[in-house]
Structure 1
Amino acid sequence: MDKLDVKILELLQQDGRMSNVDISENIHLSPPQCLRRVRVLEEQGVIRRYAALVAPSAVGLDVTAFVALSLDRAQFKQVREVESVIRAFPEIVECYTISGDFDYLLKVVSHDLKSLSHFLTDRLMQVPGVAGLRSMICLEEVKPLSGLPIKLDHH
């Protein structure tokens, strides 16, 4: 990756719908060369996908919670099955394995506190292998999802 690739990524992170012509004008490169670079970034998996970022409250998802989840050590061999179930829950919009007292950190969205409670108690806690969880309710979104700070020298 070079400086032009980094600039392309910065522009696409700001506006994923930016046209190839606009990108090429911005970085002073011909449209065919620019398109070739974007295609290479896509093929290499640097650009995972393109998506619209929807405001949760605009679609009735007024509650966001971060949920720390721990697995039952006796059933730890079921970890991939648990992960498969986690991926299938649409309420879970992000999931990370973590170090420390818990095994996973989940970002969960819900319509209200009652539906969040129902999801956590009646669905997530019922997944075989889940031993416990701790939820933290998001009070305010201070910095929503943003682009990555890409640098050439990342070693």
Structure 2
Amino acid sequence: MNDFDKQILRLLADNGRLSWTEIAEHVNLSPSAVQRHVQQMQASGLIKHFTIALDTKKLGHEVRSFVEVKMQRSDVALAKQFREIIRELPQVQSCYKLSGSVDFILDVVAPNLEAYGQFLEREILSIPGVLDASSSIILEEVKAYEVMVESARHD
């Protein structure tokens, strides 16, 4: 990744709707060169996909929480089943497998606390192999996703 790639990534992270021309003006390249850089970053897997950031509250999700899930560790099939079930639950925005005493962390949304409690009880705690689920309700978003390109390696 070169300096042009880093500049392009910063611009796209701030506004993914910029045109090749608009990006080109900022990084002093031609629009076609910018497009080639982006296509190369996509082909290499550096850019996985383009997406949009949604305001979950405006979508009717007043509650957002991180849920730490502890699993029965002696059965690999249960962990596989857990992953499959989690992928199908629309309330789960993201799920990560962790090292340490917690096995998974989920980013969960719900319209209200009552619905959130029911979701935990009926959906998460009922999954085979789940031993415990601990919630941390998000009170305020202090910093959202940000691309860190400064320390990225040069190829």
Q: TM-score, normalised by structure 2?
A: 0.93
The answer to whether the aligner puts 1:82 opposite 2:82 as a matched pair is yes
**Equivalent position of 1:13 in the other structure:** 13
Aligned residue pairs, count? 154
Point out the more displaced range, 61-70 or 122-131. Answer: 122-131
**Equivalent position of 1:91 in the other structure:** 91
Alignment check: 8 A CA contact 1:24 1:30 kept: yes
**Equivalent position of 1:146 in the other structure:** 145
**Equivalent position of 2:51 in the other structure:** 51
Alignment check: 8 A CA contact 1:11 1:23 kept: yes
Normalized per residue, the structure richer in helix is: 1
Superposed displacement of residue 152, structure 1 = 4.9
Letter matched to residue 65 of structure 1: S
- Rounded Cα–Cα distance in structure 2 between residues aligned with 1:114 and 1:20: 46
Identity %: 31
**C-alpha offsets along residues 22-44 of structure 1, whole Å, 9 cap, x if unaligned?**
01111000111111111111111
Flag structure 1 segments of 5+ consecutive residues without an equivalent. none
Q: Secondary structure at the match of 1:16?
A: coil
Distance 1:152 1:99, change over 3 A: closer
Q: How does 1:23-38 map to 2 (within 5 A)?
A: 23-38=23-38
- Rounded Cα–Cα distance in structure 1 between residues aligned with 2:151 and 2:65: 34
Alignment check: 8 A CA contact 2:124 2:133 kept: no
- Rounded Cα–Cα distance in structure 1 between residues aligned with 2:54 and 2:37: 28
- Rounded Cα–Cα distance in structure 2 between residues aligned with 1:77 and 1:56: 33
Q: How does 1:54-65 map to 2 (within 5 A)?
A: 54-65=54-65
Letter matched to residue 147 of structure 2: L
Superposed displacement of residue 104, structure 1 = 0.6
Distance 1:153 1:110, change over 3 A: closer
Cα root mean square deviation, aligned: 1.5
Letter matched to residue 54 of structure 2: V
Q: Secondary structure at the match of 2:18?
A: coil
Letter matched to residue 133 of structure 1: A
4+ residue stretches of structure 1 with deviation over 6 A? Answer: none
- Rounded Cα–Cα distance in structure 2 between residues aligned with 1:73 and 1:97: 13
Alignment check: 8 A CA contact 1:3 1:152 kept: no
Alignment check: 8 A CA contact 1:76 1:129 kept: no
Q: TM-score, normalised by structure 1?
A: 0.93
- Rounded Cα–Cα distance in structure 1 between residues aligned with 2:53 and 2:152: 29
